Amino acid sequence: MRNLQLSFNQTQKVRLEKALERLESLSSKSNPNSCVTVGDTIPVYEDGILKGHGTSDQKGELAATVCGVVERINKLIYVRALRARYKPETGDIVIGRVIEVVPKRWKLEINFTQDAILMLSSMNLPDGIQRRRTAVDELNMRSIFTENDLVCAEVRSSQGDGSLQLQARNQKYGKLERGQLLTVDPYLVKRRKQHFHHLEEYGIDLIIGCNGYIWIGEHVEARDKMVVDQGSNSEQLIAECDKNSMDLDEQDGTCTPREARQNICRIANAIRVLSRLGFNITVEVILETVNLSNSLNLDIHDMLGSEFYVLVAESEAERRSLSKRKR
Amino acid sequence: MEFVSPEGLRLDGRRPTEMRQLRAEIGNVAKADGSAVFEMGNTKVIAAVYGPREVQNKSQQMSDQALVRCEYSMANFSTGDRMRKPKGDRRSTEISLVIRQTMEACILTHLMPRSQIDIFVQVLQADGGTRSACINAATLALQDAGIPMRDIVTSCSAGYLNSTPLLDLNYVEDSAGGPDVTVGLRLLSCGTYGYTLGPMD
């Protein structure tokens, strides 16, 4: 819960304290002794342990190298840092911003120690045909993604030297337009089965990237059409694509409707409040927060105020205690 | 001038081996990966750490370890008279180098090859001991950023005035002309060993 710059009056402070206390008591009972800082010795109770991340051998004893919580899984002991950069795993959905266009690849910034690489061969060509990338394709790379574009992709592999390779071969991936990007701490986003969400009642696409970048945008129809047509033969595909590119041009001409923009801002503010409070970002929690704000008829900018902050903390405490009671 | 009274009290009422009041906060700079504000008495320093991130100057990239960069600057309003040149002067360059070497010795740079860690330290209020406050603030900021380190470095200054060794000098005692030293201590689990940094004059 960093950067609490909101000013609370006395009752709000008391309510917030109560809600946070409740949440703490409901949280999984992790041993308070398991918190360590840099240089602390980690007690080892058995032989043959595996030293994981965040630990190091100091004069025969196991010492922590980051501040965090000690986790023990079978024989593996590691320290989970509280706040760190994104730790990638193959198959993660990430959102990145194009920093550089170099021969045959794009370099994307994804909140990792290095920039990730998206090869030209890992990207679908605009006409959808599967073929070898020629020199002409290389020269036209900028027409697909240029600097400062937002791209959604999947982690393909991590190379030996630590650099990351992405792929965007699916129709779900690609350039993101007409929406807003939010950054939260990566530890708030847990790996789930689904990272792409289409919220029908608001007409919004929500992509929760594992690297902490969250995209909220107007729902794009063109992509869905392409998914349907993937089975058909290539000629039909090209014809569809021409039609779709014309549609996109028309879309560029028209603005996002006001209704959609308000929904985008509402969802974005809900995510901001949740990340300030340190709650995991999942679709259910986001929708609950948005419904809460709607039921209170709050203006969008009021959502970032202290009252709503306390209300969200309280409602989350309530929800967790209810779900615990059900169990 | 009398820096230590006959009763054994210094100018600000401290005993010779007494430190000033310490205060620290982390997480002040929202956009930084890690940040900390450290106060030693009236000396106040803010540190921000960015990284590990992509190296900006490809020629300096190291394939087996992270590049650590440090920049020390003093705010114009930090000293009694408004400072003309906050950074780029010789003292700032020297202190930047010293902080960089200190932190680089502690960070496990081999775990983050081809990346860069930036440490920015700025003095908001200078009242003696800015070097030590900067090292302390940088250590906290690095821990806040979750960067793996061998151990923690802490630092303090000491001097010798009126035939008495004094701990944690403030500005008046520092500029009195006696010898002073700033010590950085690594707290290894077995005990402490230290190394000195800074001019002894």
> For chain A, which ranges sit under pLDDT 50?
1, 223-247, 249-251
Confidence bin at B130 (pLDDT 50/70/90): very high
pLDDT at B181 over 70: yes
Averaged pLDDT of chain B: 88
CA distance to partner chain A, nearest, from residue B132 (Å): 19
Give the pLDDT confidence score for residue B58 in this predicted structure.
Answer: 87
B146 contacts A66? CB cut-off 8 A: yes
Q: Could you tell me which of A72, A2, A11, A5 has the C-alpha nearest to residue A310?
A: A11
A contacts of B188 (beta carbons < 8 Å): 39, 58-59
Spell out the residues 6+ positions from residue A73 whose beta carbon is closer than 8 angstroms to its own: none
Give the pLDDT confidence score for residue B37 in this predicted structure.
Answer: 96
Region B13-21: mean pLDDT is: 93
Distance separating alpha carbons of residues B64 and B7, to the nearest angstrom: 57
Give the pLDDT confidence score for residue A244 in this predicted structure.
Answer: 46
Give the pLDDT confidence score for residue A6 in this predicted structure.
Answer: 73
Q: C-alpha A38: how far from its chain's center? A: 28
B145 contacts A66? CB cut-off 8 A: no
Give the pLDDT confidence score for residue B200 in this predicted structure.
Answer: 44
A81 contacts B146? CB cut-off 8 A: yes
Interface mutation target, options A114, A163, A304, chain B, most CBs of B under 10 Å: A114
* B105 shares contact with chain A (CB less than 8 Å): no
B contacts of A99 (beta carbons < 8 Å): 54
Give the pLDDT confidence score for residue A211 in this predicted structure.
Answer: 92
Give the pLDDT confidence score for residue A10 in this predicted structure.
Answer: 85
Distance separating alpha carbons of residues A227 and A242, to the nearest angstrom: 15
A186 to chain B: closest CA residue: B33
Distance separating alpha carbons of residues A214 and A249, to the nearest angstrom: 26
Give the pLDDT confidence score for residue A28 in this predicted structure.
Answer: 64
Of B27, B28, B53, the CB nearest to A113: B53
Distance separating alpha carbons of residues A92 and A114, to the nearest angstrom: 16
* Prediction ipTM score: 0.81
* pTM value > 0.90: no
Give the pLDDT confidence score for residue A238 in this predicted structure.
Answer: 45
Give the pLDDT confidence score for residue A230 in this predicted structure.
Answer: 42
Give the pLDDT confidence score for residue A30 in this predicted structure.
Answer: 60
Of B27, B108, B113, the CB nearest to A65: B108
Distance separating alpha carbons of residues A70 and A54, to the nearest angstrom: 9
pLDDT digits (tens, 9 = 90+) for B29-52: 888 999 999 999 999 999 999 989
Give the pLDDT confidence score for residue B156 in this predicted structure.
Answer: 92
